[in-house]
Chain A
Amino acid sequence: MRRLYDPIYRYWFRVEWEGLDNVPMSGGALLVANHAGAIPPDAPAVMHGIEEELGRPIYGMADFFFRTVPVVGTLWSRAGGVPAHPENAFRLLHDEHQLALVFPEGSKGPSKTYADRYRLRRFGRGGFVEIAMRAGVPIVPLAIVGAEEAMPILFRLPTLSRALHVPYFPVTANMLLLGPVLGTVTYFPAKIRIRVLEPTIFDVEPGLDHYSKSRVMDEAERVRGRIQDALHDMLRDRRSVWFG
């Protein structure tokens, strides 16, 4: 499956990394990124990239909803996907010293429409900060540009999503141009750039049951702010959606 994805990573999205040396080569670390695109292409790009460039396994944390979808859920878990349960994250980071990737925006990220592109949503309830504190690992923020344009959402159909029990039902530009079937599985060839920011190391004692909620929220907000700033910086230098 990786071999099938590699050409997409290399030639379709032409993924480019900056600051990869900010990802630690050993020990646990929590990678935190912005999330976008109706069916977000950023998760596979980051996961494949880290494994190719650094030769380290990485586990992507995703919504439980994935597991309930036949075939998709199984493929996702075979590719290194893990349901986003705090215990899973803690075990990976603390007990097994692995890299984990989270998208704290959750489904609010990919479900935003094209008009709101590159505007980060709320970072959940800061759960990712708490896990990193408890596991005693650094947070490595990632800013990803390009995923927004690969499958932009024009509008959503809330009635349909409710009827189908899915988090959101998007109507994408891809669907309008390529038809409902091809448009669901085809991304636009947007250039994806990923910038790895300086890791954040928390000076708190690991292993506690509770951490100050206000501290957690502040830190989450700070990480969000840094990613947002990096996105603006990258977009300032971007000349073309398709060629970077």
Chain B
Amino acid sequence: MGRRVLITGLDTFWGGRTAQALEADPSVDMLLGLGTTEPKVPLERTEFVRTDQTYSILSRIVRATQVDTIIHTFLETSSTRVPGRVLHEINVIGTMNLLAAAGATGTSVRQVVVKSSTHVYGSSAEDPAWFSEETPRPSPPATRVERSLVEVESLVSDFAQENPDRTVSLLRFANVLGSDIVTPISQNLRRRVLPSVFGFDPLVQFVEEDDVVRSLEHVTRHRLGGVYNVAGSGKLPWSEVAGIAGALLVPLPPLGTRTAASLFGSLRLLQFPPELERLARYGRGVDTRRITEAGFAFRYTSAGAVASFARANNLRRSIGRSDDRYHYEQDVEQFFRHSPAVVRTTEV
């Protein structure tokens, strides 16, 4: 029997891309995606269910569909997109409901994959140059995003301890750049600016968006449990990021950085959320030996991820915004999936 997979955050970049990747996998029988809004990418056979952001109906869905794998991509890792209250709801309460559904007695769920972030290590002067999966963070969580992610991870590790018969995979991703993903860093770089803190030029890591999707697929396919850091190899200086992307480095004062950042932010000139501000001071590096030893091969280095973004950005600048973007039409999608009029040749 093939696998039955449920993906959260189908309407986000991650959920959509992961669903697309898994659709091509013949060993996956059924794909189901949850989202608060409509999917943003064209999907062949993934079923879409609209839910609230904390997944209160998740346990009913799991019972009804008998999924064996849950891929939890709907974790918010940037404080610019949603207010703090909502961030907590999405990350902590959403994960709590998800794990409750996955841990119910007699449940069909065998594997849970969670997409976390290297933000859980924080960024401070006391950091080691490279964090391994076991290195404890030296500083207490300083920002709202970090606090909620640390809480999510403790929920996940509790779940893994209570359910030793289930595979729990936790992936911690470095900051992502690539051709399509929109993050505060990419938004800055698109405007050809990059905020920095005067006198600081730390070493940072990036991971390319394709490697993110491929690594989620890798741990799902091979049922790899445990915690894995996912980041392109090597680190590069913050100033180099601006250099590769052709952006102007905008140094903010080292004292009163927050005030300056929120001033620029409210003028919509720069995006400099607190979690980036600390990163632009002390940087961060994670050791990815564990996931490469588990058979995963990165296609991009850290600098390669920045270069990949820069190339896509050059194209965007030349041809402008493409207008053939996908719009989800409920009726059309339902027709293709369920109408007896559609001839399904792929079915065996």
Contact = CB atoms under 8 A, between A and B. Distances in A.
A243 interface: no
Contacts of A91: 128-130
Interface in A68-103: 68-74, 77, 82-83, 85-88, 91
Contact of B199 (A65, A73, A87): A73
B194 to A, nearest CB: 16
B54 to A, nearest CB: 37
A156 interface: no
Contacts of B13: none
B196 to A, nearest CB: 11
Given A70-B254, A87-B132, A64 B200 contact: no
A68 B199 CA distance: 10
A121 interface: no
Contacts of A117: none
B135 interface: yes
B129 A83 contact: yes
A67 B282 contact: yes
B156 interface: no
A70 B125 contact: no
Contacts of B200: 70, 73-74
B78 to A, nearest CB: 25
Contacts of B138: 85
A197 to B, nearest CB: 28
B282 to A, nearest CB: 6
Given A70-B198, A74-B199, A74-B200, A83 B126 contact: yes
B57 to A, nearest CB: 44
A85 B127 contact: yes
B138 to A, nearest CB: 8
Contacts of A69: 199
Contacts of B129: 82-83, 85, 87-88, 91
Interface in B116-170: 125-130, 132, 135, 138
Interface string A33-67: 00000000000000000000000000000001101
A74 B254 CA distance: 13
Main secondary structure of the interface of A (DSSP, over half): helix
B227 interface: no
A91 B129 CA distance: 9
Contacts of A88: 128-130
Nearest to B199: A70
A82 B125 CA distance: 11
Contact of B127 (A70, A83, A86): A83
B128 A85 contact: yes
B333 interface: no
A64 B126 contact: yes
A240 to B, nearest CB: 39
A74 B126 contact: no
Given A65-B125, A87-B130, A71 B199 contact: yes
B197 interface: yes
A69 B127 CA distance: 15
A87 B129 CA distance: 8
Contact of A87 (B125, B128, B198, B203): B128
A77 B199 CA distance: 12
A85 B132 contact: no
B254 A85 contact: no
Nearest to A87: B128
B47 interface: no
A83 B130 CA distance: 11
A35 B199 CA distance: 26
Contacts of A65: 125
A72 B200 CA distance: 9
A86 B126 CA distance: 11
B201 interface: yes
Contacts of B197: 70
A185 B223 CA distance: 59
Nearest to B254: A70
Contact of B126 (A70, A73, A85): A85
Nearest to A74: B201
Contacts of B282: 67
Given A70-B199, A74-B199, A83 B254 contact: no
A94 to B, nearest CB: 13
Which residue of B135, B138, B201 has the most chain A CB atoms within 10 A of its CB atom? Answer: B201
Interface in A15-48: none
A85 B199 CA distance: 22
Smallest CB-CB A-B distances: 3 pairs: A70-B199, A87-B128, A71-B199
19 contacts: A64-B125, A65-B125, A67-B125, A70-B197, A72-B199, A73-B200, A74-B199, A74-B202, A77-B203, A82-B129, A83-B126, A83-B127, A85-B126, A85-B129, A86-B128, A87-B128, A88-B128, A88-B129, A91-B130
Given A73-B199, A73-B200, A74-B202, 15 more contacts: A64-B126, A67-B282, A70-B197, A70-B254, A74-B199, A74-B200, A77-B203, A86-B128, A87-B130, A87-B132, A88-B128, A88-B129, A88-B130, A91-B128, A91-B130
